[in-house]
Structure 1
């Protein structure tokens, strides 16, 4: 690969997938507490209850960070894509302006040929 390119449509497709996965994660986590409680109650074991509580406590911080970071990461991707797109537009406009100015005829340059360009 000799370069890189950002496709806003491709970025949008990825973000749609992220939104779907984030929604699924929130849905799964919302019902997790009730499901764990039912599982612990079904075992009627103090050891299982302690182990499940320890597991939940150990994972809660990470899961909370994941939920908090998804919107921030999503916005960072949007901002970066917008910046690249704006930069591409600016570079294209600058390049077009420079190219247009390079082809502007200079009348003095052709004066010694009687005003015409020899072939």
Structure 2
């Protein structure tokens, strides 16, 4: 045992806060898509309309990446919390690291071997 202590209510509170914080991102992106489309259609120049669409495609891809990572992180955090509560701390760290794509299994295991917190 590494001494982790998990408060299920605390985990649920954090997950709830993240979900609440992420909701405006979805609303903003959806609204932005409509505005860009309207502006591109209403532009008096095909060049301007095309440039708007091109710019939004790049930005849209980046925003979609953020939108897709939030659920993955939330599922990873929930699974990790459950695993820790069940006593499988190694699996919990692997799930979090792999779900976020921020850590490799090697990084997780090295950090645990040093007795420190998992790096972010």
| TM-score above 0.5 | yes
TM-score (norm 1): 0.57
Matches within 5 A, 1:76-91: 76-87=76-87
TM-score (norm 2): 0.56
Partners of 2:61 and 2:55 in 1: how far apart? 11
Residues 17-61 of structure 1, C-alpha deviations (whole Å, 9 max, x = no match): 121123222211222122123444566344432332221111222
Match of 2:34 in 1: 34
Give 1:80 deviation, angstroms. 0.5
Residue 68 of structure 1 pairs with residue 91 of structure 2: no
The secondary structure found in structure 1 opposite 2:24 is helix
Structure 1 stretches of 5 or more lacking a match? Answer: 89-119
The secondary structure found in structure 1 opposite 2:68 is helix
Give 1:67 deviation, angstroms. 2.2
Partners of 2:53 and 2:80 in 1: how far apart? 40
Partners of 1:31 and 1:64 in 2: how far apart? 14
Partners of 1:21 and 1:39 in 2: how far apart? 28
Higher relative contact order (CA 8 A, sep 6+): 1
Structure 2 stretches of 5 or more lacking a match? Answer: 89-120
- CA RMSD of superposed structures (Å): 2.5
Partners of 1:42 and 1:50 in 2: how far apart? 11
Partners of 2:38 and 2:75 in 1: how far apart? 37
Matches within 5 A, 1:1-119: 4-40=4-40, 44-87=44-87
Moved more, 8-17 or 30-39: 30-39
The secondary structure found in structure 1 opposite 2:86 is helix
